Structure 1
Amino acid sequence: MEKKPRVAIVVLGDIGRSPRMQYHALSLASQAKFEVDIVANGGSESHMDVIKNQNIRIHEMASVSLEGLSKISKALAVLTKAAIQFFILVWFLFKIPRPDAFLVQNPPSVPTLAAVKLSCWLRRCGFVIDWHNFGYTLLGMSHGRNHIIVKLYKWFEKYFGKMADGTLCVTKAMQHELAQNCGVKASVLYDQPPEFFHPVALKESHELFCRLDRSICDPIGFHDCVSTGKKSQNDASSDLSHTVFSTQDGDNLSLKPSRPALVVSSTSWTSDEDFSLLLEAALLYDRRIAAALNEDDSIDEEKLWIDLSNGKKYLYPRLLFIITGKGPDRKKYEEKIRKLKLRRVTFRTMWLSAEDYPLLLGSADLGVSLHTSSSGLDLPMKIVDMFGCGLPVCAVSFSCIGELVKDGENGLLFSSSSELADQLMMLFKGFPDKCDALKALQEGALARGSSSRWSAEWMTHAFPVIQEVSIMLFQRSTD
């Protein structure tokens, strides 16, 4: 049997939370017909397509935690952790079959780039870096850009970055930065939605809402405008023909006209996403409706009509925000959410499987992105996924966001919580049937999402870079 070219994908992090590297693996295995090894930390489950692919093997490394040592000395803990990670990573890179090229995610840069470069030199492999952001800018968010550790990290990242045989990056702004300040020539590979991010049928949405019914309607410790107090899903008498959004009568499915508007945001719960913006905007939305009601509690909450402008009456719905993701600041913000006193708005936080997440996006009415980028040079993949499902987005404005979000066409940009609140009021005016502004953005998002897919973008911009490096080394190994 003829030997296939082989590429090893390296992620010093949770591979389940690295969708772009999973998409690389799928494209290498399915489109390019390469053998693929993934060396990464475990944690979240990878997409089922990755797990089932016969040409992909995942090699999970143990995560390193030195919490006890960090209480004594943070600097010593950082250095010790980097050293341990270096030796673990090198061990795994020598344990796997020899690849023709390594494709490494950056950041994190330390010790990943040095470990991969050493392995490339000793095993005579190609070295390809996919720049998602700059590691030193992420470190600078907690230490400050002028800290000695940040400066050393920047030097390290630049030094080893120039050693790559091929380079990919996520935006034109990053491509320019790499060329001007790092001497690195990179090819831009924009994130694009893979085929499993698409608009969903009502049947799929209803089935998803049934699976999530308990998490949405009966969350522990919550009683709000969406919770119902009905029995658990495990109760035989629980009726799941009706969800908070949809209802089923025999074979007939329909959306409830009194349903809440569903707003989705995904987050890593880190400092580069100011989640307080969303909380403040939700509070403003809630207070503006309360002010318009003049504290009149006699009005039917299910059919709340309020007079806000020009003597016309518009329907403003309840808002349900579902926030997905894992990260260090999640508990802090969940505690803040519990302290909010909201009548027409509520929040749910959850972690969804890789199969259910696209269904949630395809079932939502609006997406929100709070990503600001530590460098200002990368773009949030969550917006790409939303567009793939035809979901428009309200996104925090920063330097290169215009490469993805066209303000007024497929989404709206905001810079403050009051601006986001204004957008929510404007977009959901007349929901669900008469919100023309929202429907126009949905059409723009669908057009953007269907215009290009990951497979085509990858074949045009990534495959030539990886092929040039890997095939060259592959031919050497077979001579």
Structure 2
Amino acid sequence: MSGGTQEKIGKRGRAAIVVLGDLGRSPRMQYHALSLARQASLQVDIVAYGGSDPHAALLENRSIHIHKMAQWPTVPKGLPRIIYPFMLLLKPLIQFFMLLWFLCVKIPSPDVFIVQNPPSVPTLVAVKWASRLRRSAFVVDWHNFGYTLLGLSLGRSSHFVAAYKWFEKHYGKMANGSLCVTKAMQHELAQNWEINATVLYDQPPEFFRPASLQEKHELFCRLNKDIVPLHGVYDCVSTGNLGIDTSDLHETLFTARNTSGTFLNPNRPALIVSSTSWTPDEDFGMLLEAAVMYDRRVAAILNEDDSTEKENFWKEINSGRQYPYPRLLFIITGKGPEREKYEEKIRRLHLKRVAFRTMWLSAEDYPLMLGSADLGVCLHTSSSGLDLPMKVVDMFGCGLPVCAVSFSCIEELVKKEKNGLLFSSSSELAEELLMLFKGFPNECDDLKSLRNGAMQTGSSARWDTEWEEHARPLISEVISKNST
């Protein structure tokens, strides 16, 4: 992101970012903070939970001050069911007073509060009260609708969901200004919520870009023990890598280095990356089913059986033979409640040409992984159908083509057969994998065409220019009106 040379916004020269969640897993709010500090020359206070580390750019910026709130403790299992309704009421009440303490006492008075929504309760209420007490402007950045997320677990007909929606709409309308992530959401807010929002599309910041060969090699060296574990995993990736000396790591599963330089291994697996929050709005089972279909269809095409399979993998690595369809390695990044459930399902698959690895990557390694992969897969379907997956934006920033689940507004981002493909079922995804990776790595023209399209999409717009054009004018306007 470029540094700003314009005058500061507001008389106090401060802004506050509010995230009732893990700051390290809230990239859009991190980018807001960087833009406010760099482009608007403001002091920025971030009030959020700890957990995952944010990007180093935030930690290194002296104008950004992070204030971590205590996490709500995990409710122990085995409690009587009658207690749960009280816990549902107690949690937002405690969060409300904690937020008020931080927003009204712990941080200096800002010119503007910018709050991430969802969650809506008690965040919008607390920020509205704090903005009144401190005579600050109040901007909501609508990422999605909180009531639709709650409806995934409680059902849309729940009284809790109805009450949540009322709070979200009532306090959302009290904001001095609103940002949102899609034109579809902008239309919904205007038509049914009486809220005029400015569309601020997610765009990748400067650290999302294609990785160089050297960066790929260093990344795979760092992650070698996670990708090719020494014990406990026996699949097409770990089997094929038994001949590699991992003590000095001149060679990894994907790259090698010699006196002539660094190069990609010609018999490497195709690397597919998917980032997930392991929540019900992402059907990870669809990806597992597609992997099983790919595995079986390739085995049928190659006329392979169980007795020859392991020998074929060994020969594939050492003989230099090019198979028409590659082995696939899926690296799934992210944290979330359903991760263990799906990891157990993965262990029971016993696939021959497909392997999975789940991991959490640092904010610095995640862009490098996207910039080193061959394809991205997005399973995000949106609880509201009105938001777009930021992970796809990041992938395009790294020049990575995408296969994404189709839903109502995804084509605002993924242009079919230009920068990615859409699918509605596991069988469609399996067909796309077979089409894109036939002849990998040198003769997969369809994949190369999509990569060129993703590179063009990623280079056409960046976060700092999008923020300067759409967010800065709105924030300046609401601060100006609030101060008069």
TM range (shorter): over 0.9
Q: Which residue of 2 aligns with 1:310?
A: none
> How far apart are the structure 2 equivalents of 1:346 and 1:29?
42
Whether the aligned pair in 2 keeps the contact of 1:90 and 1:119 (CA below 8 Å) is yes
Q: 1:82 aligns with which of 92, 102, 121?
A: 92
Which residue type is aligned with residue 202 of structure 2? D
Which residue type is aligned with residue 356 of structure 2? F
Q: Which residue of 1 aligns with 2:406?
A: 397
Whether the aligned pair in 2 keeps the contact of 1:178 and 1:186 (CA below 8 Å) is yes
Q: Which residue of 2 aligns with 1:308?
A: none
Whether the aligned pair in 2 keeps the contact of 1:8 and 1:102 (CA below 8 Å) is yes
> How far apart are the structure 1 equivalents of 2:230 and 2:204?
31
Which residue type is aligned with residue 22 of structure 2? D
Q: Which residue of 1 aligns with 2:471?
A: 462
Q: Which residue of 2 aligns with 1:335?
A: 344
> How far apart are the structure 2 equivalents of 1:70 and 1:420?
43
CA displacement, residues 97-144 of structure 1 (integer Å, 9 cap, x when unaligned): 000110000000000000000111111110100000000000001111
> How far apart are the structure 1 equivalents of 2:258 and 2:313?
25
Are 1:198 and 2:209 counterparts?
yes
> How far apart are the structure 1 equivalents of 2:91 and 2:40?
36
Q: 2:122 aligns with which of 111, 125, 133?
A: 111
Are 1:214 and 2:225 counterparts?
yes
- Tell me: CA distance 1:25–1:80, structure 2 relative to 1, closer, same or farther (3 Å): same
CA displacement, residues 220-260 of structure 1 (integer Å, 9 cap, x when unaligned): 521111115989x9x9x802010000110025111011000
Whether the aligned pair in 2 keeps the contact of 1:5 and 1:34 (CA below 8 Å) is yes
CA displacement, residues 402-444 of structure 1 (integer Å, 9 cap, x when unaligned): 0000011000000000000000000000000000000000000
> How far apart are the structure 2 equivalents of 1:156 and 1:119?
17
1:375 deviates by 0.1
Are 1:73 and 2:83 counterparts?
yes
Partner SS state of residue 300, structure 1 = helix
- Tell me: CA distance 1:302–1:452, structure 2 relative to 1, closer, same or farther (3 Å): farther
Alignment of structure 1 residues 355-374 onto 2, 5 Å: 355-374=364-383
Partner SS state of residue 238, structure 2 = coil
> How far apart are the structure 2 equivalents of 1:295 and 1:225?
14
- Deviates most, 242-251 or 382-391: 242-251
Q: Which residue of 2 aligns with 1:60?
A: 68
> How far apart are the structure 2 equivalents of 1:395 and 1:66?
33
CA displacement, residues 349-390 of structure 1 (integer Å, 9 cap, x when unaligned): 000000000000000000000000000000000000000000
1:89 deviates by 0.6
Are 1:17 and 2:25 counterparts?
yes
Q: Which residue of 1 aligns with 2:262?
A: 253
CA displacement, residues 31-56 of structure 1 (integer Å, 9 cap, x when unaligned): 11111000000100010000110110
Structure 2: unaligned runs, 5 residues or longer: 1-7
> How far apart are the structure 1 equivalents of 2:80 and 2:36?
39
Q: Which residue of 2 aligns with 1:453?
A: 462
> How far apart are the structure 1 equivalents of 2:129 and 2:402?
42
Q: 2:441 aligns with which of 416, 429, 432?
A: 432
Partner SS state of residue 340, structure 1 = coil
- Tell me: CA distance 1:93–1:219, structure 2 relative to 1, closer, same or farther (3 Å): farther
- Tell me: CA distance 1:127–1:320, structure 2 relative to 1, closer, same or farther (3 Å): same
Percent identity between matched residues is 66
> How far apart are the structure 2 equivalents of 1:220 and 1:13?
35
- Tell me: CA distance 1:24–1:325, structure 2 relative to 1, closer, same or farther (3 Å): same
Are 1:29 and 2:40 counterparts?
no
Whether the aligned pair in 1 keeps the contact of 2:179 and 2:197 (CA below 8 Å) is yes
Whether the aligned pair in 2 keeps the contact of 1:70 and 1:76 (CA below 8 Å) is no
Whether the aligned pair in 1 keeps the contact of 2:152 and 2:280 (CA below 8 Å) is yes
RMSD, matched Cα: 2.0
Whether the aligned pair in 1 keeps the contact of 2:114 and 2:140 (CA below 8 Å) is yes
Alignment of structure 1 residues 1-400 onto 2, 5 Å: 5-65=13-73, 67-68=75-76, 71-94=81-104, 95-218=106-229, 220-228=231-239, 238-296=247-305, 297=308, 300-301=312-313, 315-400=324-409
Whether the aligned pair in 2 keeps the contact of 1:4 and 1:33 (CA below 8 Å) is no
Partner SS state of residue 45, structure 2 = strand
1:470 deviates by 2.6
> How far apart are the structure 2 equivalents of 1:99 and 1:264?
39
Whether the aligned pair in 1 keeps the contact of 2:241 and 2:253 (CA below 8 Å) is no
Are 1:444 and 2:456 counterparts?
no
Aligned residues: 464
> How far apart are the structure 2 equivalents of 1:153 and 1:300?
57
Partner SS state of residue 374, structure 1 = coil
